[in-house]
Structure 1
Amino acid sequence: MSATSGSEIPPGPPQEAAASGGDAADRARAALERIGAPAALAGPLVAALGPGAAAELSADPWRLLAVGGVTPEQADYCARRALGDDASPDDPRRGRALAAHRLHRAAREGHTALEERRLASELRSAGVRSVDAALTAALDGGDAVLFEMFDEPDEPEDFDGDPGEMPDPDRWYAPARLGRGEQALGEGLNRLSSASEPIMDSATASETVEAVAERMGAAVDPRTAAALVTVALRGICVLTHGAGAGTAIAHTVACAAAVAADSDTGMALAAPTAQAAAELDEALAGLGVDPGVRAVPLAALLETRAPGVRDRGAGNPLDAGLVVVAGAMWLDVEHAAALVGACADGTHLVLLADPAQAPSAAPGSVVADLLASRTVHVAALPEDADAGPLARTAARVADGDPEEVGSPGREVVFVPADSASAAAHRAVQLITDSIPRALEIPPEQVQIVTAVRGGEAGADALNAACKERFNPGPGAYSGMDAGDRVLLVADGPGYAAGDVGYLRADAGGEGGGGATGGADAALAVELPGGELCPVGDSAHLRPGWAVTVAAAHGGRWPAVVAVFPPETRVSRPQVYTALTTARRHLSVVQAAGPALAQGVRDNAALERTTRLVQVLREG
């Protein structure tokens, strides 16, 4: 590509192409070079299109849009290089690629589907004149799936004998895998609802709760007891709670375990990440709950082997009649569908969720859709009477009130900064010096959570600064070294996306890892509690001293430094989610100025376009 082209594709990291290896990557490199695209995109192209990527790209240069980060302008540039005057803006291949690109861009923003009129409008704005042909090509090529749905009126219309004409259905397009996953999730939830029978009658469930409370020497709140009766009676329950409901959550899990044991039903307990599971186990141990009741990461519960590959499913369902998932706002469509698919008919599913949190990092709005559908049973758990400053601060944010609360023990500290660079300096200072010195919380228990990934105070820059301070090295394993704190960005055996731990490596020869760790490198991540999980693919790893709010969703740490740089697009759920990742101490580095308070007051929700409510109501 010429150096003056504004649509050139910047070269990707060399290790991506090297990591893919094999003939498929070599052929892809050659195909990319023929159309003027960087050879370094070979790895991502093969990952997106499979071993036939080179042939697909040669036949259709717009297939380059399947690689994340490539823009339509860049793909058009390559198409003109490949096709010359035959590169028409209305080429059906371009329309197909743009339709898929728009759908995947929407998915990255959390949406699971787009209504036809919106998608058509976006395609016309991109110069596609034959929108119908473009959408048909996307469907025929397997890039998208179409769902037709009829709106159900809130009130039944009077019937006078003339049914009239059928209304036109709403038409929704979705990326194929995501659309089918959301459909399966809705149908699976309806299956559990219709197939359920009570585990216990209400009187016996109440007696069980009373007996557990007596054994624990605790007073179980009547609202918690009522919620547990609902759990025993109903197939699907969403138990909502706030930031200060730790006691109620622990009591709920302890009593639910007793209900499952007394009814010979059996219970499985899961949390989003290893950190969250360890915290829940600690709370249960404090209540003297049977150590056999243990929380595990959802990926472990479903016996995950690789992203999207799990041993638990319809053919090998969970052997528990009561499945409880804490931190359920973390659930996206794919994970929720896998969970429901692994529940046999008659299983009772309980989701513990804080609705004030942001929706999942991946597409979907599962818990919010369940609540909106009014097809499942909902109960609210009470807040602790002695909720501390952390919970009170979060509760105020949930109500749209950004004002600080009293924090005599320095549980919550606001640190002003007048620029992104100043925010980055303060964040690193807090994790390396201030918090360990003043609060005796070691750096390895302090997590930086930032609102953005790029920029001077984003996750990438903060990770670079922390690595230089804590574990400088050559970056032997895809830019990381043994001893680095790392974030897992995909599910695998024993770990889940969102887990944070420390990289351990046993290379066949020291220094033999090279840019990607080498074939002899055995990488593993040490998770909270000391469990060592092998990680076969270094693409699952990212530096983890600093993580974005989305990546932190589902995680919990003793101390958190929450960073809001000047460029933050502030919303109430985003701020609330960042605050609720801290267990003992929270430092808020505030460089967003008045925008932080305004966002908390005015931007009350992160809206997502999904189909789950309609699927649930269809029954």
Structure 2
Amino acid sequence: MSTEPESREDTADAVEAEPGTPGAEAEAQEARAQETAADDAGAATPAGRTGEPGGEAAGGQVSEAEAELAAQRIERERIERRKAEKHGPISSGGKLSGTAAELLAAVRAVESGEKPAAAVFGESRPAPRRPAPEPVRQPQPVPARPAGAPAGPAPETVQAVRRVLAEGGAPEALAPQAAALLGEGADASLRADPWQLLRITGVRPEQADGFARALLGAECGPDDERRGRAVTVWLLEQAALSGHTALELPRLATALSQRGVPDPDAAVQSTLAEGEALVFQDALDEPAAQGAVHGAGADGQEAEEGDEQRPVRVLVGLERYALAEESLADALARLINSVPKQDGSAEDWERAATSAQGSAADLIRAVAGHGLVLHTGQEASLAEPAALLRAAHGLGLRAWAATHGPIGRDRFARLLGGPSSAASPDSPAPDGPAGPAVATVAGLLAGGEGPGRDADGALDLDLLVVLDAPQLDVETAALLAESLPDGARLVLAGDPAVLWSVGPGRVFGDLLAARICPQVASRRPDPGPLGELVSGIGAGELLQVEAPGKEVVIVPVRDAGEAVHRTVQLVADSVPRAIGVPAEETQVITPGHGGAAGTRALNAALKERLNPGPGRFGGFDPGDRVAYSPVPGRTLPGRVVKADADGLHLSCAGEAVVVPKERVERSVRHGWALTAHQAVGCRWPAVVVVLPGDAAQALSRPWVYTAFGRADRHLSVVHGVEQALPRAVAEVPAKPRTTRLPVLLAPQVPAAG
């Protein structure tokens, strides 16, 4: 199967891949650089009939995207400063003390059964965490580029790097990125350590090895300490592409061996000593793990000693994700343990709850007395956060909602009743078509949307409701939580059955499992045959639903070529004629970009039918539907308006976006067909899900649930994999992710009651 991973979750896990499969790494890097990547897919019949039916979003300006990146850079600099202030091991989460070599020796002693864990690690529970310092907040949104700041690396630096790359046989096109990553003196850095080439997106270990051999000659060897460090960091980055914020030490050592590192222990030790990764011990509660950690003798005596202790898990992670998880845990603890602002009396809140119905009333009551509340449900359950916002505005709170993308933002604004009903006397109206009190998460953090920030740099609000919460990666969640003022309330709402975030972490799922705050489950199911079908998928069953209005239609195909042909026929003719949904309101979803029926092939066929043209500007013509990724992890559906010397002009739900010519190739794709990760957070009147036969291995329950759940009125399934679809729904759950957030949140359980 020709595949490209759709997301970090679905990326071929580099730490488990065989050494001879370079394609997985290259595709994983593309997934990170371009929002998401995916493959072809297959399906079997879910429900409805066989045959044909009857026979977009606001995007930020480029400057906004740059402002978001600049804001994230400032935040990461703050985290760097915080790390530098810590003299000694990180106490939060229990970073092991002592030298890296001592740690590794201790771990090996425990794993071999030579010593019990208690003798090596002492206390088996994590060391107590220090209170986190108050975040240094920016009073105003960060400008897209500070005045006088250079636009990029100096031309002479790029030219020097280009000469080194040419000497080592590497593509000279990598020079600008290498110069930007390594800074001034990048050419000397590459000569001193050629394996730093692995820091560049898309470069694989075997390619960096060839570059190193060309530069170092006989001095180059697989046991080179520099190579061990570079491959260790690269494997941790690949793990992040699959959603992990850290890796268990034995798993990392195995992956290093598969990559030809002769001494994995020494490679990890060197990486830790250089500060390129951090190591942690996390105490676990599972009794079943005790025998594995402590070792059990034949007489069971040692196991009996282990019964008095808790097992320990040793993890290695990149600093940025480790500190982001710590920052998130500290910020959430601050919200949980601080008293919410007294906005309205208890009687006022109860009166608002009484006027609501069902679980909406439960949500209002929970928010009245708690700083953090979780809300779960499907699309219909959005009426409950809407009722909460209306009640909060009625009580005089500065209340805002934030969604994953602009399509979701505009849908929720309409659910609130339009611009007039969303405003409150204390809530300033944001700019843009979405209406008051609703923003995107990216726009809120960048300062282009939302209430702005107060004098202390915190978001100027009393209540924030974050919809599409499963899409929050750990870094974004940390930025949001740290941006909230003391006494503010945070509600995280979403459907836990959809695909998880593109970025690393499993924030919403970890919080649900931790049970550190009130959780309100909606009792409002999605209506109709589509709601019944999607609800069954969430429960692991592919139901046969009655669809008298052709809400669900199955179109069997024999091969990928027929799948493309039938998809074009559905979008251009059958769905508009039989269902009444025009082609511009019908979205095609397929499991991946590559292959004979991936997004590339489908978009080429749909463009030829719906908007033929020569593609004069990077393959695009006015009228083309596109998917624009201003930063990795975000996709804005839009349409091409024109192209000129300034770049490609797009309209994303009525907002103008100009993409510079040099960024078009890596940030703009045609958008008639998307992957499920690109489509998450959005819904369309009609959706055509294409499941070609060579993508059976790409299917999972969350993928099918997400793809089928994007349809409002009509779903056509172009399927050609026989029983792969029901098998995926019943047997293939989400891939697990390794995170430290549950351990960091554990001390908050008693405080939350």
Partner Cα separation in structure 2 for residue 527 and residue 458 of structure 1: 23
Conserved 8 A contact 1:358-1:606: no
Q: 1:531 to 1:167 in 2, by over 3 A?
A: same
Q: C-alpha displacement at 1:311, in angstroms?
A: 8.3
Conserved 8 A contact 1:330-1:361: yes
Match of 1:543 among 670, 691, 704: 670
> What is residue 181 of structure 1 aligned with on the other side?
324
Partner Cα separation in structure 1 for residue 588 and residue 154 of structure 2: 35
Partner Cα separation in structure 1 for residue 161 and residue 595 of structure 2: 32
1:210-225 matches, within 5 Å, as 210-211=354-355, 220-225=356-361
Partner Cα separation in structure 2 for residue 21 and residue 593 of structure 1: 56
Q: Could you tell me the percent identity over the aligned residues? A: 37
> What is residue 365 of structure 2 aligned with on the other side?
229
> What is residue 102 of structure 2 aligned with on the other side?
none
Match of 1:499 among 636, 640, 645: 636
Conserved 8 A contact 1:302-1:311: no
Q: C-alpha displacement at 1:235, in angstroms?
A: 0.9
Partner Cα separation in structure 2 for residue 6 and residue 170 of structure 1: 29
Conserved 8 A contact 1:445-1:559: yes
TM-score with structure 2 length normalisation? 0.70
Match of 2:583 among 418, 443, 447: 443
Choose 171-180 or 398-407, whichever is displaced more: 171-180
**SS of the residue aligned with 2:581?**
coil
Choose 137-146 or 228-237, whichever is displaced more: 137-146
1:275-314 matches, within 5 Å, as 275-285=407-417, 289-290=421-422, 293-303=436-446
Conserved 8 A contact 2:537-2:701: yes
Q: C-alpha displacement at 1:367, in angstroms?
A: 0.7
Q: C-alpha displacement at 1:92, in angstroms?
A: 0.8
Q: 1:52 to 1:364 in 2, by over 3 A?
A: farther
Partner Cα separation in structure 1 for residue 339 and residue 353 of structure 2: 21
Partner Cα separation in structure 2 for residue 371 and residue 314 of structure 1: 33
1:519-558 matches, within 5 Å, as 520-528=645-653, 530-535=654-659, 537-538=663-664, 539-558=666-685
Partner Cα separation in structure 2 for residue 471 and residue 42 of structure 1: 37
1:412 equivalent to 2:544? Answer no
- Superposed CA RMSD in Å reads 3.4
> What is residue 369 of structure 1 aligned with on the other side?
510
Q: C-alpha displacement at 1:458, in angstroms?
A: 0.9
Q: 1:89 to 1:168 in 2, by over 3 A?
A: farther
1:579 equivalent to 2:701? Answer no
Q: C-alpha displacement at 1:231, in angstroms?
A: 1.4
Partner Cα separation in structure 2 for residue 481 and residue 55 of structure 1: 43
Conserved 8 A contact 2:400-2:461: yes
Conserved 8 A contact 1:149-1:169: yes
Partner Cα separation in structure 2 for residue 589 and residue 24 of structure 1: 51
1:390 equivalent to 2:517? Answer no
Q: Deviations over 1:82-135 (max 9, x none)?
A: 222221111011101110111111111111111112111211222223333322
> What is residue 75 of structure 1 aligned with on the other side?
208
Partner Cα separation in structure 1 for residue 391 and residue 530 of structure 2: 31
Match of 1:486 among 609, 612, 626: 626
Name the amino acid aligned to 1:497: R
Q: 1:579 to 1:208 in 2, by over 3 A?
A: same
Q: C-alpha displacement at 1:193, in angstroms?
A: 1.0
Name the amino acid aligned to 1:560: V
Conserved 8 A contact 1:299-1:491: no
Q: 1:326 to 1:557 in 2, by over 3 A?
A: same
Q: C-alpha displacement at 1:41, in angstroms?
A: 2.8
For structure 1, the residue ranges without an aligned partner over 5 or more in a row are 155-161, 212-219, 508-519
Name the amino acid aligned to 2:503: A
Name the amino acid aligned to 1:78: F
Q: C-alpha displacement at 1:151, in angstroms?
A: 3.1
Partner Cα separation in structure 2 for residue 6 and residue 123 of structure 1: 14
Partner Cα separation in structure 1 for residue 229 and residue 186 of structure 2: 16
Q: C-alpha displacement at 1:500, in angstroms?
A: 0.7
Conserved 8 A contact 1:304-1:491: no
Conserved 8 A contact 2:328-2:477: yes
Q: C-alpha displacement at 1:522, in angstroms?
A: 4.4
By relative contact order (CA 8 Å, sep 6+), the higher-ranking structure is: 2
Q: C-alpha displacement at 1:428, in angstroms?
A: 2.2
Conserved 8 A contact 1:260-1:321: no
Partner Cα separation in structure 2 for residue 440 and residue 413 of structure 1: 15
Conserved 8 A contact 1:196-1:235: yes
Q: C-alpha displacement at 1:260, in angstroms?
A: 4.3
Match of 2:605 among 454, 462, 465: 465
Q: 1:534 to 1:7 in 2, by over 3 A?
A: closer
> What is residue 51 of structure 2 aligned with on the other side?
none
Match of 1:240 among 376, 390, 397: 376
> What is residue 561 of structure 1 aligned with on the other side?
688
Q: 1:286 to 1:383 in 2, by over 3 A?
A: farther
Q: Deviations over 1:202-243 (max 9, x none)?
A: 5432312344xxxxxxxx432221121101211111101135
Name the amino acid aligned to 1:233: G
Partner Cα separation in structure 1 for residue 159 and residue 722 of structure 2: 50
Name the amino acid aligned to 1:186: A
> What is residue 517 of structure 1 aligned with on the other side?
none
Name the amino acid aligned to 2:277: A
Q: C-alpha displacement at 1:142, in angstroms?
A: 4.9
> What is residue 474 of structure 2 aligned with on the other side?
333
Q: Deviations over 1:443-491 (max 9, x none)?
A: 2211111112210111122222223333444545444344322213234
> What is residue 512 of structure 1 aligned with on the other side?
none
Conserved 8 A contact 1:573-1:606: no
> What is residue 133 of structure 2 aligned with on the other side?
none
Partner Cα separation in structure 1 for residue 452 and residue 207 of structure 2: 40
Q: 1:90 to 1:542 in 2, by over 3 A?
A: same
Choose 478-487 or 564-573, whichever is displaced more: 478-487
Name the amino acid aligned to 1:455: G
Q: Deviations over 1:388-424 (max 9, x none)?
A: 1111110011111113311111122122122222222
> What is residue 298 of structure 2 aligned with on the other side?
none
Partner Cα separation in structure 2 for residue 49 and residue 565 of structure 1: 43
Q: Deviations over 1:17-52 (max 9, x none)?
A: xx9993443333322221112223334434544455
Paired residues, number: 573
**SS of the residue aligned with 1:352?**
strand
> What is residue 204 of structure 1 aligned with on the other side?
348
Partner Cα separation in structure 1 for residue 481 and residue 273 of structure 2: 29
**SS of the residue aligned with 1:567?**
helix
**SS of the residue aligned with 1:289?**
helix
Conserved 8 A contact 1:108-1:362: yes
Partner Cα separation in structure 2 for residue 359 and residue 52 of structure 1: 39
Q: C-alpha displacement at 1:314, in angstroms?
A: 10
